Structure 1
Amino acid sequence: MPLNEQTPVYTAQRIIMEDFGEYNKESAKSKRTSLLKRIPIKRLMDLKVDYAFKQLFENEKNKDITVVFLNAILQRTGRNQIKDISFLNTESSGEYVDDKQSRMDLLVMTKADEQINIEIQFTNQYDMVKRSIYYWAGVYRSPFKKRMTYKELRPVIAINILNFGLFQQTDNFHTTYHLYEDNEKFKLTDVMEFHFIEMAKLIRDWKNDELDPWNNVLARWLMLLGMVDHRNDEVYNDIYLELEEIAMKDESLRNAFQTWEELSMTQEQYLAYESRLKRIIDEEAAQREKELQIQEAKEEAQEEIRKAREAVEKAKQEAKHKAKQEGKKEGKKEGKKEGENSAKEAIARKLLAKDMRIETVVETTGLPKDKVIEMYRKMQ
């Protein structure tokens, strides 16, 4: 896509970008030496875990690696090459300090004064689209100070790397988003750009032999992230062998492997990584347990509703019979209402006994909130 007049031009000391075109694979095989000198592949940190990702890419000594990685992603939208970056504080002031949601994974500033926020999500626990927009908004407005003008606000690029599938509308593992006019499709502004990278689709494409990491810089870096999958206790040895060959020619990739190995061999770093991985998996398990409990409660509630309907129908028949005998219409109405209320109260007691929230009980049964609160107090 063509660059518009607002597209920033990056300046700095040198370009760090390696795309060497059609490379002779047989020559690489003959010269290949093992990249991992001291540990097996399965001992490497899973780079899709935010802690490991930050250790590799948020490191002043490895800044060249981060620049190459970012250029591989941003070239999709026609942006000029990044020459240099600086790392920014990722703590969001005024948020919940102990909450992971208040800490961005990686935030950098380019020489063109563009801010790039990178989020890597191991599990699908959040509304990722809204979450990304929320972070984007915070980064965009954070530099705004008193006496500044809106013209001084700089572009913010959000990059989301997801260890799960998100968009059902497309098979592409990398999708990008901007603000466009609905009919003529011209861009409203260059200050907003979103990237979503779905690792599950990337691995699928690799398994289907639809990726060419030899001639696609982004493919090789994302395959690096996908090579070790500790969540599913799986390591893709074939990916390692292919990247090992490519790294004989790609210095940045080779340096990334070496740094990755050093990080994984450092006991303190690896213990911190394992602690973070365990917390993520525990959170995922707790979320799954909660979903199962809700599902079980819903199924039990459905059964109670079925029984309640039967009770209502029985009450209607009894009321009808009584009304017929007494010649009163009120009997039918009263019997129906009494049966429905009795069934609803039975369901409410069942849900409250499972520690369901009062609002959920009200929504499920249709009982008045004060009635549910009164039942809850009596149960206590």
Structure 2
Amino acid sequence: MTRRAMKRIYLTKLVDLKIDFAFKELFGSEKNKAITIVFLNAILKRTGRNVIKEVTFNNLEIGGDHEEDKQSRLDILVTTQDQHQINIEIQFTNQYDMIKRSLYYWARLYSNQSQKGMAYTKLKPAIVINILNFHLVKETTSYHTTYHLHEDEESFRLTDVMEVHFIEIPKLLKQWKEEKLDPWSDVLARWLLLLSIVDQRKSYIYEDIFKELEAIAVNDKHLQDAFTSWNELSLDPKERQAYEVRLKQILDQEAAVNEAKWRLEVAEKQALERGMEKGIEKGIEKGIEKGMEKGMEKATAQVARKMLEKHMNVEEVAEITGLPIERMQEIKAELGL
């Protein structure tokens, strides 16, 4: 089958790799380990002796201390041949707490290494990489920013054990449109543009990016493999169903947040007009927050019901929706299954 024929049949069916389910399927699986290693080396600028040669995929429950982190797992967590831990998080929508959330994840990742009686000198670096489908860092137009601990006056680095990355896809696309990117020579831009081809929120496909990467893939085996795995993921009925469920959940949550923000703005405006701003501001915020939480919980439970009605495994549904197993059993009983 020619590339042109493949494009005509499959391009409109490709899933958005910025949805965490799809991202984890492509970059977080053992069969695509070589792709993950290339991707990590590009982000971390590892070359020569520092290059990542091998990774082990891990699962880590990171939540528990914060309400929004219950039942959540890190998107992708790997350990390198040097025992460095690297966490990659993909965020499709802005939850307005990304910086603090990222630091919290790093702290848990770093502290989880420690065992009773273990010397601090044995603690290895922990790295958190955040790929964001929204703007975050206002101080720069760069789409990739990296952070360490530095001394305030002379800017020398305190330690290498802490490293945090933020990658902002909208800034990347802006540079692409301004013809400031060269994916032929810039490996990181190449892989990040791959993530950008499908924009599910806008129902748009960047065919110009697809054509460019398709040409580059002729001489890039890892990129070829990524295209193949992406197509297979997009066309597999079971995987597609799980993706659609996760996509709906994300968009429903995003709509609930936006509606809550709108209601808060309206309420604040009305309060100002009535001259009662100070008296009711706190109550409004609390009420909106409760309403938003209930709306999200209801949307998630509805998604779980639909999946269970299709006889999907309880554990799989719990993993995708983030609901506890106990809640899955309750819903299953309600449905008489």
Q: Give the gaps of 5 or more residues in structure 1.
A: 1-31, 309-342, 361-380
Of the candidates 51, 68, 83, which is equivalent to residue 113 of structure 1? 83
3-state SS of paired residue (1:188): strand
- Cα distance change on mapping 1:359 and 1:72 into 2, 3 Å: closer
Of the candidates 116, 135, 139, which is equivalent to residue 146 of structure 1? 116
Equivalent pairs, count: 289
Of the candidates 278, 300, 303, which is equivalent to residue 270 of structure 2? 300
Q: Which moved more, 1:222-231 or 1:181-190?
A: 181-190
* Superposed displacement of residue 147, structure 1: 1.2
Q: Does 1:91 align with 2:61?
A: yes
* Superposed displacement of residue 303, structure 1: 1.2
Q: Does 1:168 align with 2:142?
A: no
Of the candidates 227, 235, 240, which is equivalent to residue 270 of structure 1? 240
**Residue deviations 1:231-256, cap 9 Å, x none?**
11110000000000000000000000
Tell me which residue corresponds to 2:14.
44
Q: Does 1:253 align with 2:217?
A: no
**Residue deviations 1:140-195, cap 9 Å, x none?**
01121111111111101110000001011100000111111112221100100111
In 1, Cα distance between equivalents of 2:194 and 2:66 = 33
* Superposed displacement of residue 41, structure 1: 1.4
In 1, Cα distance between equivalents of 2:230 and 2:70 = 24
3-state SS of paired residue (2:53): coil
- Cα distance change on mapping 1:150 and 1:258 into 2, 3 Å: same
In 2, Cα distance between equivalents of 1:249 and 1:358 = 53
* Superposed displacement of residue 90, structure 1: 3.0
Q: Does 1:190 align with 2:171?
A: no
Q: Does 1:204 align with 2:174?
A: yes
CA RMSD of aligned residues (A): 2.8
In 1, Cα distance between equivalents of 2:182 and 2:227 = 19
- Cα distance change on mapping 1:187 and 1:75 into 2, 3 Å: same
3-state SS of paired residue (1:189): strand
* Superposed displacement of residue 91, structure 1: 2.0
Q: Give the gaps of 5 or more residues in structure 2.
A: 291-337
**Residue deviations 1:247-303, cap 9 Å, x none?**
000000000000000011101101100111111111010001001111111111011
Q: How does 1:124-135 map to 2 (within 5 A)?
A: 124-135=94-105
Verify the 8 A CA contact 1:43 1:264 in the aligned structure 2: yes
Verify the 8 A CA contact 2:35 2:222 in the aligned structure 1: yes
**Residue deviations 1:305-330, cap 9 Å, x none?**
1xx7xxxxxxxxxxxxxxxxxxxxxx
- State the one-letter code of the partner of 1:148: M
**Residue deviations 1:81-120, cap 9 Å, x none?**
1001000113226457984783211000000110000011
Verify the 8 A CA contact 1:34 1:244 in the aligned structure 2: no
In 2, Cα distance between equivalents of 1:163 and 1:358 = 25
Larger radius of gyration, structure 1 or 2?
1
Percent of paired sites with the same residue: 54
- State the one-letter code of the partner of 2:268: K
Tell me which residue corresponds to 1:232.
202
Verify the 8 A CA contact 2:62 2:69 in the aligned structure 1: no
- Cα distance change on mapping 1:299 and 1:257 into 2, 3 Å: same
In 1, Cα distance between equivalents of 2:171 and 2:165 = 15
Of the candidates 234, 238, 241, which is equivalent to residue 211 of structure 2? 241
3-state SS of paired residue (1:124): coil
Verify the 8 A CA contact 1:48 1:225 in the aligned structure 2: yes
3-state SS of paired residue (1:102): coil
TM-score by length of 1: 0.71
Verify the 8 A CA contact 2:46 2:52 in the aligned structure 1: no
Tell me which residue corresponds to 1:313.
none
3-state SS of paired residue (2:166): strand
Tell me which residue corresponds to 2:52.
82
Verify the 8 A CA contact 2:150 2:157 in the aligned structure 1: yes
- Cα distance change on mapping 1:294 and 1:79 into 2, 3 Å: farther
Verify the 8 A CA contact 1:297 1:351 in the aligned structure 2: no
**Residue deviations 1:190-247, cap 9 Å, x none?**
1001111000000000011000000000011000000001011110000000000000
In 1, Cα distance between equivalents of 2:36 and 2:26 = 8
Verify the 8 A CA contact 1:205 1:211 in the aligned structure 2: yes
- Cα distance change on mapping 1:294 and 1:194 into 2, 3 Å: same
TM-score by length of 2: 0.79
Of the candidates 33, 39, 58, which is equivalent to residue 63 of structure 1? 33
Q: Does 1:104 align with 2:74?
A: yes
In 2, Cα distance between equivalents of 1:51 and 1:261 = 15
